[in-house]
């Protein structure tokens, strides 16, 4: 096995995504020549932000060896909470309370997922698929039909460019900064160890169940923040608004160079993955292709990512036999 | 700091099977105790009890004279007792340094891992084995890319980084080359001077004679005794491991009287897989060829390769025809049958009925739609032949006792009347009574002319049943035993004593 190649991909899992991003941006620019104008660019970036935050949480779960199919409906649920709590007349204190309640709801949902997966030892995919319907139900219960209006100061803040830089860049930088900090702690080491080889980690004394639990709680919290960003972006509420975000959040992580089986990867790549997905979405809409192609592309990326290691092994095996 | 550990009258049962009947072990600062025993004698169980991986059912463990219980490996580690295992506890995607310090990383401000310090200490540890590994073994190399010997070094350094007072080396030298072993032994001499206590589990007699001060011998789950190495011989230790005058199932005489069997059924030339290093063998019709040796020396690979379940190179002739199976189905079509060792996972569909399990490989015969009555009749015949104790053929296999379940595993292949039967340690976890019936079945099959290739981790079975036994070690045949030479002493010596030094 090629050690240098392994070493580089382990330490910089986002390099592949970066290359892909350049290609996708090139195609997008060809189809949409005004892409890099300030107005278009920051409009695009605002649309990417909720998925970016959501993907950061998904990436943590996947690196820890799990998968969360309920993050999308968690976004719907927190969105429903925020728009029913906050009205145009809300005071600052009320808004702060609403955000705190939303964040707690996300963490509770994540905690429930985590308890099922780590302590009841249920299969993560089936468990979170099932719990996703609980959170979708809660969203519909709180907000039976779309509605609600955010105070304009809040939506204006979301569109602002603090210090001349779009808000999204600030948030992305913050996420990466937090990740770099986290990766350097014992928590980061444990997370990779649990995702990489849970039995070996257990034998070494890593608190495996607690680690798994915590990754789902983080994903729940990130889903709540994603819901906040989405609510500010649209200015209104919809009990199904986040449901379709689950698949893209997984695809973005995979595009970012994180293996679906866990134990390796990073946040920076996952965020680039979100931008790639958004760019592909732009390309599809500007190339006059029906929009359902987007879902087809998302699904294909996952299938290829899942099959790639097996295919590589098969090819290697064939070669050694000859 | 001085340390002493003493395990006294330790008992461990797994279900009905007694893995350890009376385990005793004493070791103290500044000595190396070698731990010896044949397959299944309870060495690993006792090591696991001492390091807190497994909890004992009875008996006491004294550390520095105080009774202790280790509910987990962590409590043992905190008490200064740690082990280097064969099954590696490393995380392939993490680097050498990350693996060594996982769980006890030096921290900065109590939060961030101090990378510089980790690197410095890892380099210091690696320096202990300087010159015996490739340049690619660096603190930041991912462990998954390292060859087995270097992984083993990392495993040893990981245990050492905990600064243990008592270290158990469980087959830690098995994948090391000569230079690395020499270096390890120099280090062990040094650790002894620093009051560390060392338990050395190895199958290599020459290494035990070189490094150990004392040897403790286990046999059938009991500690038989201890000898000071300087006052004993290899011969004496091997004899201690073998039960004198032990009753073995003697089916062999009855067989030998019937004269030489007929044509060659299976012939293998220069068989190589990732484990096997060129195996030659032939099996005749009506012959029971045993495969012996320590566990995991390539025996399973040999059977799987013949069955077409793993890729291999080499020449295989079946009934005079050259064959190269790439899928088990091809082997099945040539009337080859494989009985796996892991009954619950590979041999049976536990929740399905006895009938379904019997007929799983043979449904094809019964057309479309399935002629269920004729399938049932055939299954009943086989079940009766095997005197299978059952409620009905529709009862789930999980309702059967271990021995009866094993009959179903073999019975499903008998329905296809195989002419070559491959058995992968088939009596593991089967009770004594059922074993006897199974032996009778094997004898019957070979009388009917079935060629049988039989791997067993139980030396007595090989001695009692087989015409010839090939002993495997490191993927090579190291001894061919038959007739006069097929004795317990020869078998144990072939697997342990006469091993060549591992080449570099």
**Chain A: nearest CA to B145, how far in angstroms?**
6
The β-bridge partners of B477 are B472
Would the CB atoms of A196 and B93 count as touching at under 8 Å?
Answer: yes
For chain A, say whether B144 makes contact (Cβ under 8 Å): yes
The nearest alpha carbon in chain B to A192 belongs to: B94
Integer-rounded Cα radius of gyration of chain B:
25
Contacts of A10 in chain B (CB under 8 A): 93, 95, 142
The answer to whether the CB of A90 falls within 8 A of the CB of A82 is no
Predicted confidence band at A320 (pLDDT cuts at 50, 70, 90)? low
Check whether A206 has a pLDDT greater than 80.
Answer: yes
Query: Which of B72, B74, B94 lies at the smallest CB-CB distance from A193?
Result: B94
Least confident window among A186-200, B80-94, B185-199: B80-94
Instruction: Give B334 or B37, the one with higher predicted confidence.
Output: B334
Cross-chain Cβ contact B91/A184 below 8 Å: no
Contact B94 A192 (CB under 8 A): yes
Give the pLDDT band (50/70/90) at residue A210: very high
Q: Domains in chain B and their CATH numbers?
A: 4-241 (3.40.50.300), 251-335+418-504 (3.40.50.300), 342-417 (no CATH)
Q: What is the pLDDT of residues B429-460, one digit of tens each?
A: 666 666 777 788 888 888 888 899 999 887 77
Q: Are B247 and B48 in contact (CB under 8 A)?
A: no
CB atoms within 10 A of CB A52: 26
Q: Closest by alpha carbon to B169, among B130, B211, B139?
A: B211
Which residue of chain A has the CA closest to B48? A203
Cα–Cα distance, B363 to B271 (Å, whole number): 32
Q: What pLDDT shows up at residue B488?
A: 79
| 3-class state of residue B63 by DSSP | strand
DSSP string over A112-138: HHHIIIIIS---HHHHHHHHHHHHHHH
**What is the sign of the dihedral through the CA atoms of A119, A122, A126 and A127?**
negative
Strands (E) in B273-310, as ranges, are 277-284, 288-292
CATH code: domain A3-321 is: 1.10.3470
> Which of A62, A64, A65, A196 should one mutate to test binding to chain B, selecting the residue with the greatest count of B CBs within 10 A?
A196
Shortest CA gap A275–chain B (Å): 27
Interface of B with A in 43-72 (CB under 8 A): 53, 72
Q: Interface pTM (ipTM) of the complex?
A: 0.81
The chain-wide mean pLDDT, for chain A, equals 87
DSSP string over A75-101:
HHHHHHHHHHH--TT--HHHHHHHHHH
Q: Does B91 touch chain A (CB under 8 A)?
A: yes
Of A7, A11, A208, which to mutate for an interface test with B (greatest number of B Cβ within 10 Å)?
A7
- C-alpha to C-alpha distances, B71 to A79, B52, B61, B78, nearest whole angstrom: 46, 6, 12, 12
Identify whether the C-beta of residue B232 lies closer than 8 Å to the C-beta of residue B66.
Answer: no
Q: Are strands B313-318 and B321-323 parallel, antiparallel or unpaired?
A: antiparallel
Q: Where are the alpha helices (DSSP H) in B313-466?
A: 328-333, 354-359, 372-385, 402-414, 432-447, 459-465
Average pLDDT over residues B142-170: 89
- Distance, in Å, from the CA atom of B266 to the CA atom of A50, rounded to the nearest integer, reads 65
How many residues are recorded in chain A?
Answer: 322
Sheet holding B17-28, edge to edge: B66-68, B58-63, B4-14, B17-28, B222-228, B214-219, B32-36, B197-201, B166-170, B81-84
B92 in A contact zone (CB under 8 Å): yes
User: What are the chain A neighbours of B88 within 8 Å (beta carbons)?
Assistant: 200
Looking at the predicted structure, is the pLDDT value of residue A43 above 80? yes
DSSP designation for A163: G
Q: Assign residue B260 a region: left if phi > 0, alpha if psi is -120 to 50, beta otherwise?
A: beta
When mean pLDDT is compared over A45-59, A303-317, B196-210, the highest value belongs to: A45-59
Pinpoint the alpha helices (H) of B222-371: 234-241, 252-256, 299-306, 328-333, 354-359
How many contacts (CB atoms, under 8 Å) link A and B?
79
| Residues on chain B touching A204 (C-beta within 8 angstroms) | 89, 102-103, 158
Q: How confident is the model at residue B87 (pLDDT cuts 50, 70, 90)?
A: low
Q: What is the pLDDT of residue B500?
A: 39
DSSP conformation letters of B16-54: TEEEEEEEEEEEETT-EEEEE--TTSSHHHHHHHHTTSS
Q: Which of residues 294-313 of B touch A (CB under 8 A)?
A: 311, 313
Question: Would you call A185 and B112 a contact, using CB atoms and an 8 Å cutoff?
Answer: yes
Alpha-carbon distance B363 to nearest alpha carbon in chain A (angstroms): 30
* Spatial contact of A46 and A156, defined as CB atoms under 8 Å apart: no
Taking an 8 Å cut-off on Cβ atoms, the answer to whether A204 and B142 are in contact is no
Contact between A204 and B112 using a beta-carbon 8 Å cutoff: no
Which of B91, B113, B157, B327 is best to mutate for the A interface (most A CBs within 10 A)?
B91
pLDDT at site B262: 67
Q: Which residues of chain B make contact with A3, given a CB cutoff of 8 A?
A: 136, 141-142, 145
SS3 assignment, position B264:
strand
User: Does residue B501 have a pLDDT over 50?
Assistant: no
pLDDT tens-digit readout, A91-149:
889 999 999 999 999 999 999 999 999 999 899 999 999 999 999 999 999 999 898 88
Higher pLDDT, B128 or B238: B128
Measure CB to CB from residue B91 to each of A193, A205, A320 and give the nearest one. A193
Contacts B102 to A, Cβ<8 Å = 189-190, 193, 201, 204, 206
* Mean pLDDT, range B215-226, rounded to an integer: 87
Give which of B93, B105, B308 to mutate to test A binding, by max A Cβ within 10 Å: B93
Measured CA distances, B277 to A319, B270, B280, B469, B472 (Å): 19, 8, 10, 18, 10
> Which chain A residues contact residue B313 at CB under 8 A?
321
Counting Cβ atoms within 10 Å, is residue A57 exposed (0-12), middle (13-18) or buried (19+)? buried
3-class secondary structure, A211:
helix
B112 near A CB under 8 A: yes
How many other C-beta atoms can be found within 10 angstroms of the C-beta atom of residue A292?
9
- Chain A residue with the nearest C-alpha to that of B85: A203
pLDDT computed for residue B393 by the predictor: 87
| Other Cβ atoms within 10 Å of B393 Cβ, number | 18
Do A203 and B89 make contact, defined as CB atoms within 8 angstroms? Answer: yes
Taking the C-alpha atoms of residue A265 and residue A256, their distance in angstroms, rounded to an integer, is 8
Tell me how far the alpha carbon of residue B219 is from its chain's centroid.
16
Measured at the CA of A109, the angle between CA A108 and CA A115, to 5 degrees, comes to 85
| CA gap B25, B4 in Å, rounded | 11
Cβ pair B157, B89 in contact under 8 A: no
Q: What is the dihedral of CA A288, A53, A270, A107, to 10 degrees?
A: -130
Closest-CA distance, A142 to chain B, in angstroms, reads: 41
- Provide, rounded to the nearest whole percent, the portion of chain B with pLDDT above 90: 18
Q: Cα separation of B350 and B365, whole Å?
A: 23
DSSP A283-303: HHHHTT--THHHHHHHHHHHH
Q: Decide if pLDDT at B250 tops 60.
A: no
Tell me which residue of B175, B173, B130, B449 sits closest to B287, measured CA to CA. B449
């Amino acid at each position: 096995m090629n050690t240098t190649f392994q070493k580089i991909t382990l330490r910089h899992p986002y390099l592949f995504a970066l290359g892909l991003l350049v290609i996708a941006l090139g195609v997008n620019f060809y189809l949409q020549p005004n892409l890099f104008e300030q107005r278009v660019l920051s409009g695009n970036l605002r649309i990417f932000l909720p998925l970016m935050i959501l993907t950061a949480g998904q990436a943590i779960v996947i690196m820890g060896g799990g998968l969360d199919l309920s993050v999308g409906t968690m976004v719907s649920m927190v969105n429903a909470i925020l728009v029913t709590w906050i009205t145009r007349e809300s005071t600052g204190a009320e808004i702060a309370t609403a955000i705190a309640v939303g964040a707690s709801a996300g963490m509770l949902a994540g905690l429930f997922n985590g308890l099922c997966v780590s302590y009841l030892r249920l299969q993560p995919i089936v468990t979170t698929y099932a719990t996703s319907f609980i959170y979708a139900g809660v969203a519909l219960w709180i907000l039976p039909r779309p509605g609600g209006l955010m105070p304009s100061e809040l939506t204006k803040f979301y569109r602002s460019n603090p210090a001349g830089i779009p808000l999204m860049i600030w948030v992305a930088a913050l996420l990466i900064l937090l990740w770099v900090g986290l990766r350097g702690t014992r928590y980061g080491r444990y997370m990779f160890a649990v995702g990489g080889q849970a039995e070996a980690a257990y034998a070494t004394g890593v608190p495996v169940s607690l680690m798994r639990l915590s990754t789902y709680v983080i994903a729940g919290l990130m889903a709540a923040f994603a819901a906040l960003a989405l609510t500010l972006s649209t200015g209104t509420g919809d009990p199904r608004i986040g449901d379709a975000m689950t698949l893209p959040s997984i695809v973005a992580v995979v595009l970012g160079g994180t293996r679906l089986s866990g134990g390796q990867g990073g946040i920076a790549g996952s965020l680039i993955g979100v931008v790639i997905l958004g760019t592909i979405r732009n390309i599809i809409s500007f190339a006059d292709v029906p929009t359902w192609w987007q879902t087809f592309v998302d699904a294909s990326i996952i299938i290829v990512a899942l099959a790639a290691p097996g295919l590589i092994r098969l090819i290697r095996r064939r070669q050694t036999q000859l | 700091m001085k340390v002493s550990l003493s395990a006294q009258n330790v008992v461990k049962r797994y279900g009905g099977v007694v893995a350890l009947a009376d385990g005793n072990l004493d070791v103290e600062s500044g000595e190396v105790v070698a731990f010896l025993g044949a397959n299944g004698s309870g060495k690993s169980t006792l090591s696991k009890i001492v390091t807190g991986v497994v909890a004992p059912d009875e008996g006491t463990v004294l550390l520095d004279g105080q009774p202790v219980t280790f509910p987990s490996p962590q409590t043992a580690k905190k008490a200064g007792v740690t082990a280097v295992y064969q099954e590696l506890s490393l995380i392939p995607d993490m680097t050498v340094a990350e693996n060594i310090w996982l769980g006890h990383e030096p921290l900065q401000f109590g939060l961030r891992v101090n990378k510089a310090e980790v690197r410095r200490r890892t380099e210091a540890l690696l320096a202990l084995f300087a010159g015996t590994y490739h340049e690619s073994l660096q603190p930041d190399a991912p462990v998954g890319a390292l060859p087995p010997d270097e992984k083993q070094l990392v495993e040893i350094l990981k245990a050492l980084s905990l600064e243990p007072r008592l270290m158990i080396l469980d087959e830690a030298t098995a994948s090391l080359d000569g230079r690395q072993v020499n270096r390890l032994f120099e280090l062990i001499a040094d650790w002894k001077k620093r009051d560390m206590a060392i338990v050395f589990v190895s199958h290599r007699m020459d290494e035990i004679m070189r490094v150990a001060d004392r040897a403790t011998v286990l046999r059938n789950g009991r500690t038989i005794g201890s000898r000071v190495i300087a006052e004993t011989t290899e011969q004496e230790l091997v004899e201690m491991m073998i039960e004198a005058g032990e009753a073995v199932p003697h089916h062999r005489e009855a067989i030998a009287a019937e004269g030489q069997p007929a044509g060659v059924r299976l012939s293998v030339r220069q068989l190589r897989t990732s484990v096997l290093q060129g195996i030659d063998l032939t099996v005749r019709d009506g012959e029971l060829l045993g495969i012996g040796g320590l566990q995991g020396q390539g025996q399973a690979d040999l059977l799987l390769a013949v069955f077409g379940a793993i890729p291999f190179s080499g020449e295989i002739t079946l009934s005079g025809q050259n064959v190269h199976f790439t899928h088990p189905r091809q082997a099945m079509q040539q009337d080859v049958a494989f009985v796996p060792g892991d009954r619950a996972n590979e041999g049976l569909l536990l929740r399905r009925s006895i009938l379904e399990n019997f007929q799983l490989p043979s449904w094809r015969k019964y057309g479309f739609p399935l002629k269920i009555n004729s399938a049932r009749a055939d299954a009943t015949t086989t079940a009766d032949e095997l005197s299978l104790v059952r409620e009905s053929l529709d009862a789930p296999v999980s309702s059967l006792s271990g021995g009866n379940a094993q009959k179903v595993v073999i019975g499903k292949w008998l329905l296809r009347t195989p002419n070559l039967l491959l058995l992968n340690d088939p009596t593991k976890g089967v009770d004594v009574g059922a074993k006897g019936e199974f032996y009778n079945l094997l004898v019957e099959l070979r009388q009917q002319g079935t060629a049988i290739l039989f791997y067993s981790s139980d030396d007595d079975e090989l001695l009692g049943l087989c015409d010839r036994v090939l002993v495997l070690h490191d993927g090579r045949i190291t001894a061919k035993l038959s007739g006069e030479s097929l004795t317990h002493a020869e078998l144990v010596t072939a697997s342990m004593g006469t091993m060549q030094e591992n080449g570099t």
